[in-house]
Amino acid sequence: MATTTLLEAQFDKGLRGTAADQLATVSTLSHMVQEYPIPTFINSLLVRLADAFETGSLDLRVAAARALGQCGPHLKLAFSSAEISKRILKVSHSNDPSARETVLDVLAELAPLLSTSNTVHHLIRESLSTTDEGEFRAACHALKSFSSISQSFAESIVLQVGKILEEDEATEPRKVLLCSVFSTMSATAIVVEQVFGIADLILRRSISDEYFHSFLNSTTSLCIEIRYSIPKQVDLLLDLLNPKEKDAVPPSNTRRLIILKELNRLSSFTSVWSEAQVRTFLESLQPKMTSQALIEFFDATTSLVKNSSYENLRVLKDLILSNTGFGSHADPEVSVRFVFFASQVVCSPRAFEVDSSDYIETTMTAFTVVVVNACTNGKLRNRLASRLFRAIGDLLLAFPYTQYSFSPMIISAVFSGFESEITDSNNQKERLDLLCRLIDSDKLYIGEVHKWACKVMKEKRKLFNAYSSQFSYLCLAVGTSLPAECSVIFYPGNSISIYETARSAFRNGHWKHVASPNLASIDVIIMPQFERNWITALKEIGNSQLTEMGLDELESQQSHLISALSALKIGKSDPKFGAILRFPIGMVSAMLSSSYAHFHLLSVLRPFQTVLSGALQPNKFFNPVMAKRFITALSSCESSLNEAFVEWTSLVRASFCADPTSFDLITLYYLRVSVLQTAVRVILKKQSADTIIQIPQLSNSRTCSLFQKERLQWVIDRIRNLRYDFEPNINIVNNLYTIVEQLAIIPYMLPRFFFQQFYHVDFKVILILILLYIHLFSHFFQISTTPQSEKERPVRVLQGDTIPIRVDGSLTSTHPFPIRSLIIFAEVTSLSSHSHNQVFREAVDLSENSHFAAQFLLNFKTTCDVRIRVEFIDQTSRKQWKADGGATISIAVKEKYPQMGHEYKRSGAQIPVDPRQMIRNTMFPSDLM
């Protein structure tokens, strides 16, 4: 590629410049590698860097090691490992320990390329006996990198590491540094057995607390890596915590804390803990333990609750009932952790499965006293308060408000934090977050919390203004309405709070009466262009909400949605924020398509409901001809329904990065169109009225999605009323009208993803077009590589030629779900004839460094554009998703020149005056020169 060739030349020139130029050039390495993850390009840069490393200064070598450490997994794409290592290892023969230190640091970063190099392995072994501290540190760095990749090297070096740890000659700081190697060592059965053998020798000696901590920390990391040795490590730690020998000395407070920290790390692997191990661990709880030790203890017990067996859960529950005093501990860090741990136990579905309801009520009432005490103890640090009120939220959702008498006591304790109008005096923000969670998760709490929030708005305006975002969400909860005396503009004059109110109104379905008036009160004249377009679009979306069914209302809705779509598309051109508007544009476009479908259906239904209704009455005046006309008119609606269905389907397939609740809402909106399609097809006799339409399981049972699901289920249950024997009558028409009306008027609730996009999945695609020009009169052919074409300069090829196009790319993602595989599409769009359009696809897998490559052989007949786009399959749901972006290359096809040869006529051949001119004109036509 021309771009990468230019970068290579600049990189090479910089490395041959002054010392400052060299350092500046080396610092750009990681950026170039991540921007262009192409194997040949990365390999070329590394070879050039190795040359400079061999002959450069110490500063250059240190900079090279630092730059390589920033390149990440892309270094694996290089393939000239022998050439690179040969140049770097030449420096290792230097007598300067600083030079050898830089060699080891560079080799540590290049371990994925050189993992099997015996020369490097030998160099690391030798460097472990050096007297220079810097070289020893670098040797440990390299040892850690190579032993984590190469099993054979790990097995051969572990005994040497153990010998150094046992020797008295090595200083303790060196031992601390060296034992950290175990944490990432390639954990084969041989290595693990030898490490535990070393542990038996080391831990029996008198060693410092620092060495003790470093050794246990690294061996725990090793066991976590392989999992099967965790029980053995737990036994080792429990033996250190509670020595079995009678004459054994109990661990000091410092060592007790170290052991508890390591047990806390292993507690997340609940399934491998036996009941005996859990009991032994819980027996170590003592009132005289330090606060820090108690914190680690209760953090570990909290982790043990997850996925624990019933026997272990019973043991943990017994611990709570016999140690409720820790809920009133002087240190709030301890008391809050105890409450959090206890809430996780009692909220487990199996905690009370064999207990009576009276026992549950009695036990939880006693525990409620501890919770209320923690809730009314005054201000806590924000992080601690978040944990406490998260635990309280778990309790209230596990034991519903209307079923248990102790739940109202906890709610009252939460409300009590607002008795004072001093803001942030009782962790009001965390309490409000809890209340928002309650109304967002369980509709039983909505009425009580909404009523309380409206009361605060009237009586405690200072508090209400201090937490505008949370109070707006509570006052505009799903399925509620504001009191008649309340103004819909909660915060006049404050644009930020007004916007937050409008956003809450959009998310909970209060568009026209709350969101739109609030947005209209914002002065957009002083705003930047992007924000102005965004507010304008939201205002139009708010005005588009339907409150009643009618043709005029639908036309007005479409007008507002078109205006919103126009404003969003203008905003999409913004280079900084335009990318975040992809989903809002897609959703507004889908809503507009649904509105068109509703308008089309209503246009068909209204005449038959009014002036023509007499001919469809199920009596002796029934006119079958009119019924057939209704069927014919209804058939024309299928096209608009199909368009809306395609729009929503495309939006669902492009919403991989949406949070679970947002994806639930998008799916339910897609099902609206699908259900309406089914209803029409049932009347058209294209589908049975008994067809089972199942709403998929929701990812998150939030009140907004449950509200949509309940309304949708009501509509699905009405489809069976569309069944008829011979001809549809007025009852069928009215039932279809009811279905259309409900689906059109059900308020959309804009998902959180519409406003906030937390994850992103980005595919960087690079096209390489390989052109083969075969000389007609030569035994050789030339291969040239052309970069992605510029818009004004398409790539020129000859008609009928088959051209390989290679697609190189890389993935960057912040989504928690991994990508399983990719599907690369090459869409050839002819500019002159659609008959030449073609679509090619190839499935590829991601490499370890998230790189992918595909190649297509394309035959070009006419001038066209080749668009490369990516779809992918995630590892969790195995669904196929659309990705944004892609790459396009323009191809200009030129007709082949006819082959020129000798033309013989009956009268004889005409020979040019100069025979050499004939050959020159034949082999090198002037057009091609």
Question: How would DSSP label each residue in 258-310?
Answer: HHHHHHHHHTT-GGG--HHHHHHHHHT--TTS-HHHHHHHHHHHHHHHTT--H
> For residue 129, what is the DSSP state?
T
What is the pLDDT confidence band of residue 759, given thresholds at 50, 70 and 90?
Answer: confident
pLDDT tens track for 626-668: 899 999 999 999 999 999 999 999 999 999 999 999 999 999 9
pLDDT tens track for 217-243: 999 999 998 888 999 999 999 999 988
Rounded-to-integer distance, Cα 451 and Cα 453, Å: 6
Q: Rounded to the nearest 10 degrees, what angle do helices 332-346 and 382-398 cross at?
A: 20
Q: Does the structure show a pLDDT above 80 at 264?
A: yes
pLDDT the model gives residue 792: 57
Q: What is the CATH number of domain 761-894?
A: 2.60.40.10
What is the pLDDT confidence band of residue 606, given thresholds at 50, 70 and 90?
Answer: very high
Tokens, residue 159:
């005994």
CB 601 within 8 A of CB 632: no
CB 260 within 8 A of CB 296: yes
pLDDT the model gives residue 288: 86
Rounded-to-integer distance, Cα 909 and Cα 906, Å: 8
Query: What is the Cα 893 distance to its own chain's centre?
Result: 42
What's the mean pLDDT in 247-258?
Answer: 86
Q: Does the structure show a pLDDT above 90 at 404?
A: no
Rounded-to-integer distance, Cα 324 and Cα 316, Å: 12
pLDDT tens track for 30-47: 989 888 888 888 999 999
What's the mean pLDDT in 753-761?
Answer: 86
pLDDT the model gives residue 770: 56
pLDDT the model gives residue 899: 53
Rounded-to-integer distance, Cα 514 and Cα 543, Å: 10
What is the pLDDT confidence band of residue 247, given thresholds at 50, 70 and 90?
Answer: low
pLDDT tens track for 92-144: 888 889 999 999 999 999 998 998 899 999 999 999 999 999 999 999 999 99
117, with CB counted inside 10 A (0-12, 13-18, 19+), is: buried
Closest CA to 887 of 869, 873, 872: 869
What's the mean pLDDT in 305-309?
Answer: 89
pLDDT the model gives residue 7: 87
pLDDT the model gives residue 226: 87
In the β-sheet with 851-859, what is the strand arrangement from edge to edge?
Answer: 781-786, 761-774, 802-813, 851-859
CB 738 within 8 A of CB 717: no
Q: Does the structure show a pLDDT above 60 at 767?
A: yes
pLDDT tens track for 503-531: 999 999 999 999 999 999 999 888 899 99
597, with CB counted inside 10 A (0-12, 13-18, 19+), is: buried
pLDDT tens track for 338-395: 999 999 999 998 888 888 888 888 888 888 999 998 888 888 899 999 999 999 999 9
Look over the chain and give the mean of its residue pLDDT values, rounded to a whole number: 87
- What HEC string does 527-551 produce? CCHHHHHHHHHHHHHHHCCCCCCCH
Rounded-to-integer distance, Cα 898 and Cα 891, Å: 21
Rounded-to-integer distance, Cα 452 and Cα 48, Å: 70
Rounded-to-integer distance, Cα 446 and Cα 703, Å: 9
| Phi, psi angles (nearest 5°) of residue 170 | -70, 135
What is the pLDDT confidence band of residue 851, given thresholds at 50, 70 and 90?
Answer: confident
Rounded-to-integer distance, Cα 375 and Cα 398, Å: 18
pLDDT the model gives residue 169: 83
Helix, strand or coil, per DSSP, at residue 489: coil
Taking CA 251 as the corner, what is the angle to CA 249 and CA 255, rounded to the nearest 5 degrees? Answer: 155
CB 518 within 8 A of CB 505: yes
What is the length of the chain? 929
Lowest mean pLDDT among 270-274, 439-443, 873-877: 873-877
pLDDT the model gives residue 913: 47
Taking CA 513 as the corner, what is the angle to CA 508 and CA 518, rounded to the nearest 5 degrees? Answer: 90
pLDDT the model gives residue 909: 41
Tokens, residue 478:
């799903």
pLDDT the model gives residue 540: 96
Q: Does the structure show a pLDDT above 50 at 788?
A: no
Q: Does the structure show a pLDDT above 70 at 776?
A: no
What is the pLDDT confidence band of residue 905, given thresholds at 50, 70 and 90?
Answer: very low
What's the mean pLDDT in 185-200?
Answer: 89
What is the pLDDT confidence band of residue 906, given thresholds at 50, 70 and 90?
Answer: very low
pLDDT the model gives residue 693: 86
User: Long-range contacts made by residues 47-53, C-beta under 8 angstroms, separation at least 24?
Assistant: 47/80, 47/83, 47/84, 47/87, 48/8, 48/11, 48/12, 48/15, 49/15, 50/83, 50/84, 50/87, 50/88, 51/15, 51/87, 52/15, 52/22, 52/26, 53/87, 53/88, 53/91, 53/102, 53/106
pLDDT tens track for 724-749: 888 899 999 999 999 999 999 999 99
pLDDT the model gives residue 614: 84
What's the mean pLDDT in 783-797?
Answer: 54
Q: How many angstroms separate the first and last alpha carbons of the chain?
A: 23
CB 307 within 8 A of CB 270: yes
What's the mean pLDDT in 454-479?
Answer: 93
What is the pLDDT confidence band of residue 778, given thresholds at 50, 70 and 90?
Answer: very low
Taking CA 400 as the corner, what is the angle to CA 448 and CA 659, rounded to the nearest 5 degrees? Answer: 85
pLDDT the model gives residue 188: 86
Rounded-to-integer distance, Cα 144 and Cα 908, Å: 84
Instruction: Name the pTM for this structure.
Output: 0.81
Tokens, residue 825:
């599409």
What's the mean pLDDT in 767-790?
Answer: 38
pLDDT the model gives residue 895: 82
Rounded-to-integer distance, Cα 120 and Cα 126, Å: 10
User: What does DSSP say about strands 802-813 and 761-774: parallel, antiparallel, or unpaired?
Assistant: antiparallel
Q: Does the structure show a pLDDT above 80 at 705?
A: yes
